[in-house]
Chains A and B, each alone.
Chain A
Amino acid sequence: MILQINTDHQRFRKIVKGKIRDDLRKFLTRGELLGREGKKLISIPVKGIDTPHFRYGDNNDAGVGKGEGKPGDGVDGEGGVGPGGEGEGRHILEVDISLDELADILGEELKLPRIKPRGKHRITAERDRYTGIRQAGPESLRHFKRTFRRALRRQIMSGLYDPETPRIIFERRDKIYRSWRTVLSPQSNALIIYMMDVSGSMGDEQKELVRLEAFWIDAWLRRNYQGIESRYIVHDVRAGEVDRETFFRIREDGGTRISSAFRLAKDVIDRHYSPLDWNIYLFHFSDGDNSSESDSRECCALLREHLLPSLNLFGYCQVASAYGTGNFINVVHEQLRDLEAVITSRVNNKDDIYDSIKTFFSPGR
């Protein structure tokens, strides 16, 4: 019986995932998820998973209740004689799903390949695993169940056990302790550097798009790597490193010099993240309005000579803005056309996020 419910439960989960997949494009644009990252499970409202029935409509809602109240007073609660729990029909099912599962659905639906860490990035880490048991050890690691079982067995065998007063007394020889083994596990680390142009032309709407896109990039990369570090860089004419909160909130004014951000990114990588140990992803979000052509050229030079050799991917995402001329994407196209690790996408509205993520990750780097 236990097995049967598992089968039915898995079938149900599969159907739920199918429903989520059907709605994925809409789903990616929902802001409410953003707050939930970090927590393991996400509750997702899933519509239309029940079988339909002929039933009465909403406009007849009336019933009999019980309690105080004069005519005209509001009724608390749901109400109704709705016999036998049948009255509950109108809710939407909430299903718990992990961010990893969601990222898998995203991957399957966007037909994204699992990202394979490049050979040189493979390092090993030592981890302790509590898999063995021992006769000796610290009390804090005592395996209670096994100890109890041994004591019980000993007492029964020696005739000391009395079912009427089932008292178990441990002796030294009963005690069993957990012990650990050191295992070497391959570990793949990844660094994501998010860079954003925060000049005046990047408004709240633009930032919301960036936020959503960054969230899903994060989710997808986290699914593929065990260790992820994220760094955030904002820039106008100067660049500075900020924390995640600030990254999405800050608003500056004035001109734009994209190269400042690239320089800072290079600095961060050089100082903390050896490309031998890290898979590095660099994303830049901007409305594409750089202050000068020469700076744009400098950006490309920086990328080609200093950054790209150590990157898995440079993703440039150009967000539509009412003020920007949006030329930077063209410069990148012209100058870095020959480089595989450079991928660009345009996001004009929320619906484009789906395609943008697909563009970034389809090559599977």
Chain B
Amino acid sequence: MNRTLPREIAEQAEIIAEYARREGLDFYPTIFEMLSSEEMSQVAAYGGFPQRYPHWRFGMEYEKLRKQHRYGLGRIYEMVINNDPCYAYLLNDNMMVDHKTVIAHVYAHCDFFKNNYWFSRTNRRMIDEMANHATRVRRYMERHGVEKVERLIDTYLALDNLIDPHSVFMRREPDRTEVRRKREEQSKKPEKVETATRFPAKSYMDRYINPPERLAREREVEQQKEEKTRTSFPESPRRDVLGFLLKYAPLQDWEADVLSIIREEAYYFAPQGQTKILNEGWASYWHSTIMTRYVLSDAELIDYCEHHSGTLATSPGRLNPYKVGIELLRDVERRWNTGRYGPEYDACDDMQTRREWGKDREPKGRVVGKDSPGRQKIYEVRALYNDVTFLDEFLTPEFAEDQKLYHYRYDPSTGKMVVVNRDFDKIKQQMLFMLSNHAQPYIYVMDANYRNRGELYLAHKHIGADLDIKYAVATLKEVQRVWRRPCHLLARIDDEPILFTADGEKSTQQKVDDKTEPAANEFE
């Protein structure tokens, strides 16, 4: 395919890059390629990558995208790969003004990839890595047969949301041998350290201040606890189920390798899921700033406006991440330019005063430009925040009101979604819920030696929403295929703890007394 960029577009890309740098954006070298819509569907099916491991799911994605395009339901304007250099694709039947907008948008994404903290651990040679994965999987397919490898990938893909996106920032956990060594060391120590709490007391008062029964009781509890940690494995709940399986499931080398490929790709894509609103908001902020301030020619104005408003359009009952992102960033910029922040502002609960805030201060109104405090603040936001922290910190009641946000809920009596209220706390809570863990349930490995039979025990941490039972049963079966021993999942359904079990032949579910869910802020 012919992907060379026509000269006039290449020139525009250079010009826009210069403006972007002047505004403070800092991005990897970016390579633009020109694709037909058919090619775009192909590349998009592979998540933007020229090469992926072979799998039918990409064929399905391709069929969907192609159909969407054919029926005019969707058009992929832009695609960027987080890689150094970044790769981005332009659609060949677009107008020049679209190309310019997309190019500006792309540079902002590249800047975000390069500078946002949540991307700091991603592989910047992912294009090569993906090609490498493709080669490895192909080799396994030659050796073990296409169907077998594909079925295995199906299984792993069912579990690819069971990762812990935060774990990449954590200290490496000790592996099993290290834990054992530590324990042995401890048991070699001659005397047992007194663990029960003893309050300081004069000897004649000791009996009363530290009653022996209490000490005995406390010692017993301690002992039980220690007993439990010694026999239970893992010692504390593990959120990276995929990593756990990779390490401890009875996999052949090649199976483990395929799993490591799926896991690596899941971790690579995780930050993009965590920063959708912020990243798209950032890119939209910059394409509009660069276009309107520098690049747009008079003749292009109408087409630009149409494209831009199309990107930011919201239909009733939907939140467009582009729109929320750009509006919230602009709000932050405005607030920091007018001093609407800090303890004094936060403490003020009079809406009128808040609205008037900063109007009498210097500098007056909105200070625009590179060195304004607002601009500096949003640069800081782009470096340090993800969607959850971004909304948690910067979503204000005024913003929710201006943007006409509301909270809606399914109404079982009518079978429709209805507006519940415009209560700020509810709106915020709901938004954070939908964004945390990328709207995926939290599943933990609780015990890998359940009932001392090497069975795997998982638990769902309930944060206000039940699991989908049908899906849970189907997925647990896939877990079992990997673990090969019976697998269990504890989940709260309609406020009842239910234990799902898959033993490889049949699936069961029953009410249980056990209510051990992973604690609210459990960390490994």
- Residues of A near any B CB (own CB < 8 A): 1-2, 4-5, 7-15, 49, 51-84, 86-87, 93, 95-96
B419 contacts the other chain (Cβ, under 8 Å)?
Answer: yes
Q: Are A75 and B408 in contact (CB under 8 A)?
A: yes
Q: Which of B51, B387, B418, B434 contacts A75 (CB 8 A)?
A: B418
Q: Are A68 and B316 in contact (CB under 8 A)?
A: yes
Q: Are B410 and A62 in contact (CB under 8 A)?
A: yes
Which of chain A's residues have a CB closer than 8 A to the CB of B50?
A: 1
B440 contacts the other chain (Cβ, under 8 Å)?
Answer: yes
Q: Which of B50, B56, B387 lies at the interface centre, i.e. has the most chain A CB atoms within 10 A of its CB?
A: B56
- A68–B277 Cα distance when bound, in Å, is 22
With A11-B150, A63-B430 known, 15 other A-B pairs at CB within 8 A are A4-B52, A5-B45, A11-B59, A11-B146, A60-B466, A63-B407, A63-B434, A65-B419, A66-B405, A67-B316, A71-B418, A71-B420, A73-B418, A78-B318, A83-B435
Which of chain B's residues have a CB closer than 8 A to the CB of A83?
A: 273, 276-277, 321, 387, 434-435, 438-439
Closest to A87 in B: B439
- A60–B472 Cα distance when bound, in Å, is 15
Q: Are A7 and B54 in contact (CB under 8 A)?
A: yes
Which of chain B's residues have a CB closer than 8 A to the CB of A56?
A: 439, 441, 465-468
Q: Are B460 and A12 in contact (CB under 8 A)?
A: no
Q: Are A81 and B440 in contact (CB under 8 A)?
A: no
- A53–B440 Cα distance when bound, in Å, is 9
- A74–B410 Cα distance when bound, in Å, is 10
Q: Are B417 and A61 in contact (CB under 8 A)?
A: yes
Among B153-161, B199-207, B247-255, B356-364, which stretch is in contact with chain A? B153-161
Q: Are A66 and B319 in contact (CB under 8 A)?
A: yes
Q: Are A60 and B464 in contact (CB under 8 A)?
A: yes
Among B60-68, B301-309, B338-346, which stretch is in contact with chain A? B60-68
Least distance between B510 CB and chain A CB atoms (Å) = 18
Q: Are B434 and A12 in contact (CB under 8 A)?
A: no
B354 contacts the other chain (Cβ, under 8 Å)?
Answer: no
B182 contacts the other chain (Cβ, under 8 Å)?
Answer: no
Q: Which of B51, B57, B317, B407 contacts A4 (CB 8 A)?
A: B51
Closest to B441 in A: A54
Q: Are B158 and A84 in contact (CB under 8 A)?
A: no
Q: Are B318 and A80 in contact (CB under 8 A)?
A: yes
- Residues of B near any A CB (own CB < 8 A): 1, 39, 42-43, 45-46, 50-52, 54-60, 62-64, 67, 146, 150, 154, 157-158, 161-162, 272-273, 276-277, 314-319, 321, 323-324, 387, 403-410, 414, 416-422, 427, 430-431, 434-435, 438-441, 443, 460, 464-469, 471-472, 474-475, 478
Least distance between A69 CB and chain B CB atoms (Å) = 4
Closest to A8 in B: B59
Task: Give the 4 A-B CB pairs with smallest separation, nearest first.
Answer: A12-B59, A8-B59, A52-B474, A75-B317
Give me 12 A-to-B residue pairs in the complex whose CB atoms sit less than 8 angstroms apart, sorted by A's number.
A2-B42, A8-B55, A53-B161, A55-B467, A57-B469, A58-B468, A59-B466, A62-B410, A74-B414, A75-B316, A75-B417, A86-B438
- A54–B441 Cα distance when bound, in Å, is 7
Closest to A1 in B: B50
Q: Which of A10, A71, A80 contacts B419 (CB 8 A)?
A: A71
Least distance between A4 CB and chain B CB atoms (Å) = 7
Least distance between A318 CB and chain B CB atoms (Å) = 41
Given contacts A54-B443, A86-B439, contact A69 B475 (CB under 8 A): no
Which of chain A's residues have a CB closer than 8 A to the CB of B54?
A: 4, 7-8, 11
